[in-house]
A and B are shown apart, each in its own frame.
Chain A
């Protein structure tokens, strides 16, 4: 008989006013007892809606049934059949819009805590290993594949291909693999040790990772083909930060969220033994309402800012960030200045930021995206006193590959054109996926694209 409690087992967490002063992980994870109890809430629907919501098609009811029986190793086997990075997905997927969003239990109460269970299983596996020892390494098929970018799209593609016996090499421009998982998402949401362990699993399957390799500059895609790679997957991400193009944006104390997050996450500016400089003032405004804005705001607080504001031009219901992240930010005393649109960043004679001028907005008719369009309230400008402004309004795809690869078709927004069903681009043997194609999206969507492309590449190689 299923556990018919209406709400999820709550996630144990660090206290908000303790955690907003440290970079340790906020969510502490289920105990085995909590996981078994939560797993029993699953109704094992005949037609599981949750699976439809999962971009990498994890066999959700199957793994949950095994968790309910305490068979954590077997549950892990089920998940990793389709998902190479469960410890990461369990932490950063927007489950409320995907698997959990479709869960029948969510209609009358709270959905099953699928993400929390996935995380539990992955963490259990990392801590205890598998009772049957490490998995068998598939037989090599002799085909060489190059993957550009070691973010979620590239890693997933690498994982799927290596499990099919391909000889996979991943090229990463930074000194550490992981892409946005290491430079973008903060330690307190996704510990870097977890990312490193997930990547270790890939290298176990024979995936080679070459860091400090900027494809497009050091070597072109054409040269990779000359070296004997038979197919290339481009998962180079959405690199270029967008700015507001308002006066004062080049003042001292204005940063892109990418810069702050890279300094903190990849370059470990929060640890005293690292040389990376970082300057966060006492009053910080973060412009934007997505997950990156929440990450930047919560990082600023942890770096010692007294006041941190999220400035967003629409309302609470329109915030694109995950609900959980917004709630975490609020609990950590981040102040939300909603329906406020920045019009100017103001500074002193030394060109240092002293404030951000905003105009109040009200919500009008829904726009093309279905969200209610914000309209300025005339004469409502006012200045919020801040000494630091962080711009977190999105990024565009990195242009390096497109500009150095002849024959690769681009979208109007600078993404690479790729077939949704196979990841194939306009050039034979070149596949692409993730933010490099779509512009900034989510980790799991990039993983889904990496997975699709792995199947596409497999098909392509077999057709040669």
Chain B
């Protein structure tokens, strides 16, 4: 069993919550860009989520989880002292940072949580990071202080202009590139459609662009093939070959179509989360 040792909302919307969980085996080894799979209880799904931070001394792993389907809703209802049935990891390849000097990280929404350890890892290695962080509105902004601390330049944007520049993060990225900024690499974390737009924006500039893909993963060890995608005409598995891929070579339409496959079921299941018992199930 894996105990929740702390829990805090990341912004006033309450949509994104940070959990610190005891998982010593994972904490010992995890590097930026890797993920875990958790399972709430015997009846739960296996849910992949990127690791935000680790404390090898304390043996804890930090994850930031957006409320979406049934499992994430149930997780949000769990409290400090409650236990998850399973936490397995670290999975996937760490983000490669070799040879990079100047990088632009483009994040959107909950992708911010995934980007944070990567940005921090890059800063620690002396890589100059510019960060473009897009949110729907001011109340959805997360991790601002942490991200600022990792970046040379920090450019927040909001769709409604309530904070930072009004517009999408990809618009800001385009402005930077048009204005003559150059980067060894652009890395994007966020919704699939956003990452596709980022890749489209950087293509004319021929800047290598890495996208972090977490489509439907089931076992996270390369066994089921559920997370397959086409990269440069080849079938790859996000969990073992990724989760990061060259965004200019990804078949985005295929990835986006596949990611919506269980949407209807998830919506229905999420509607069935009991608000009274929450994470505690009535059976079993």
Residues of A at under 8 Å CB distance from B?
Answer: 173-175, 183, 211-214, 217-219, 239-241, 243, 245, 249-250, 252, 255-256, 258-259, 262-263, 267-268, 273-277, 279, 351, 398-400
B25 touches A213 (CB 8 A): yes
30 A/B residue pairs, CB under 8 Å, sorted by A: A175-B39, A212-B25, A213-B88, A214-B88, A214-B91, A217-B89, A218-B25, A218-B88, A219-B28, A240-B222, A240-B237, A240-B240, A241-B223, A249-B235, A250-B228, A250-B235, A250-B258, A252-B257, A252-B258, A256-B226, A258-B224, A259-B224, A259-B225, A259-B226, A273-B43, A275-B71, A277-B266, A279-B265, A398-B221, A400-B240
The secondary structure that dominates the B interface is mixed
Say yes or no: B262 contacts A239, CB within 8 Å: no
Instruction: Tell which of A239, A277, A399 touches B45, judged by Cβ atoms closer than 8 Å.
Output: A277
For residue A173, which residues in chain B have a CB less than 8 angstroms away from its CB? 88, 219, 221
Who on chain B is nearest to A263 by CB? B218
Q: Mark B54-92, 1 if CB is under 8 A from A, else 0.
A: 000000000000000011000000000000011111110
Please give the distance in Å from A268's CB to the nearest CB on chain B: 8
Q: Which of B43, B70, B85 has the most CB of A within 10 A?
A: B43
B235 touches A245 (CB 8 A): yes
Residue of A nearest to B265 (CB): A277
* Cβ–Cβ contact A174 & B219, under 8 A: yes
Contact of B43 among A183, A219, A252, A274 (CB under 8 A): A274
Residues of B within 8 A of A245 (CB): 235
Q: Are A250 and B45 in contact (CB under 8 A)?
A: no
B284 within 8 A of A: yes
A217→B29 contact, CB < 8 A = yes
Contacts of A268 in B (CB 8 A): 43
Q: What residues of chain B lie closer than 8 Å to A174, measured between beta carbons?
A: 219
B240 touches A175 (CB 8 A): no
Contact flag A240-B225 (CB < 8 Å), given A275-B70, A276-B45: yes
Chain A proximity of B77: nearest CB distance (Å): 14
Once bound together, how far apart are the Cα atoms of A269 and B229, in whole Å? 24
Contact B283 A279 (CB under 8 A): no
**Residue in A213, A239, A274, A275 whose CB lies within 8 Å of B223:** A239
Give the CA-CA distance A275 to B74 in the complex, in Å. 11
- Which among A243, A249, A258, A398 has the highest number of chain B CB atoms within 10 Å? A258
Q: Determine the distance from Cα of A246 to Cα of B242 in the docked complex, in whole angstroms.
A: 23
Name the distance in Å between B29's Cβ and chain A's nearest Cβ: 6
A241 touching B221, Cβ below 8 Å? no
Task: Give bound CA distance, A398 to B237, whole Å.
Answer: 12
Give A271's nearest chain B residue, CB to CB. B43
Roughly how many angstroms separate A65 CA and B145 CA in the complex, as a whole number?
Answer: 77
Q: Kindly provide the distance from the CB of B263 to the nearest chain A CB, expressed in whole angstroms.
A: 10
Contact of A399 among B25, B28, B222, B262 (CB under 8 A): B222
**In the complex, chain B residues whose CB is within 8 Å of the CB of A399:** 222, 240
Question: How far in angstroms is the closest Cβ of chain B from A271?
Answer: 8
For the complex of A and B, list the 3 residue pairs with the smallest distance between their C-beta atoms, beginning with the closest: A256-B225, A259-B224, A241-B225
For A398, the closest partner residue in chain B by CB is: B222
User: Bound complex: CA of A70 vs CA of B121, how far in Å?
Assistant: 68
> Looking at chain B, what size class is its interface with the partner chain?
35 or more
Q: How far is the CA of A390 from the CA of B235 in the complex (A)?
A: 16
B196 within 8 Å of A (CB atoms)? no
State the Cβ distance, B137 to closest chain A Cβ, in Å.
31
Known: A212-B25, A250-B254, A259-B226. 14 other contacts (CB 8 A): A183-B219, A211-B86, A212-B87, A217-B34, A218-B88, A240-B237, A255-B225, A262-B223, A267-B46, A273-B43, A275-B43, A275-B44, A279-B262, A400-B221
Cross-chain contact A255 with B226 (CB below 8 angstroms): yes
- When C-beta atoms are compared, the residue in chain B nearest to A249 turns out to be B235
User: Would you give the shortest CB distance from A326 to chain B, in whole angstroms?
Assistant: 25
Q: Report the nearest A residue to B283, measured CB to CB.
A: A273
CA distance A306 to B251 in the complex (A): 33
The residues in B between 220 and 278 inclusive whose CB is less than 8 angstroms from any CB of A are 221-226, 228-230, 235, 237, 240, 251, 254, 257-258, 261-262, 265-266, 269
Q: Report the Cα distance A279→B265, complex, angstroms.
A: 9
A265 to chain B, nearest CB (A): 12
Interface contact B222-A400, CB-CB below 8 Å: yes
Contact, CB under 8 Å: B284 / A256:
no
The residue from A175, A239, A259 contacting B86, defined by CB atoms under 8 A apart: A175
Q: Do B88 and A243 have beta carbons less than 8 Å apart?
A: no
Kindly state the separation between the CA atoms of A241 and B28 in the bound complex, as whole angstroms.
30
Chain B nearest CB, measured from A344 CB (Å): 16
Q: Is B26 an interface residue (CB 8 A)?
A: yes
Task: Considering the complex, give the chain A residue whose CB is closest to the CB of B25.
Answer: A218
A259→B224 CA distance, assembly (Å): 4
The answer to whether B91 and A259 touch across the interface, beta carbons within 8 angstroms, is no
- Contact A175–B88 (Cβ < 8 Å): yes
Check if B90 sits within 8 Å of A217, measured CB to CB: yes
On chain B, the residues within 8 Å of A219 by CB distance are: 25, 28-29
Q: Are A239 and B71 neighbours in the complex by a CB distance under 8 Å?
A: no
| Chain A neighbourhood of B39, CB < 8 A | 175
Distance of A279 Cα from B268 Cα, bound (Å) = 14
Q: A219-B25, A256-B225, A351-B257 are in contact. Are A262 and B219 (CB under 8 A)?
A: yes
CB A270 to nearest CB in B, in angstroms, measures: 13
Complex contact B230–A250 (CB within 8 A):
yes
* Distance from B239 Cβ to chain A, minimum over Cβ atoms (Å): 11
Q: Which A residues touch B262, using CB under 8 A? A: 277, 279
Query: Among B91, B257, B258, which residue has its beta carbon within 8 angstroms of that of A217?
Result: B91
- Whether A273 contacts B284 in the complex (CB less than 8 A), given A245-B235, A267-B46, comes out as yes
Does B261 contact A279, Cβ atoms closer than 8 Å?
yes
Q: Among the interface residues B34, B230, B240, which one has the most CB atoms of the partner chain A within 10 A?
A: B240
* A261, closest chain B residue (CB): B224
Report the minimal beta-carbon distance from B231 to chain A, rounded to whole angstroms.
Answer: 12
CA of A26 to CA of B91 in the docked complex: distance in angstroms? 38
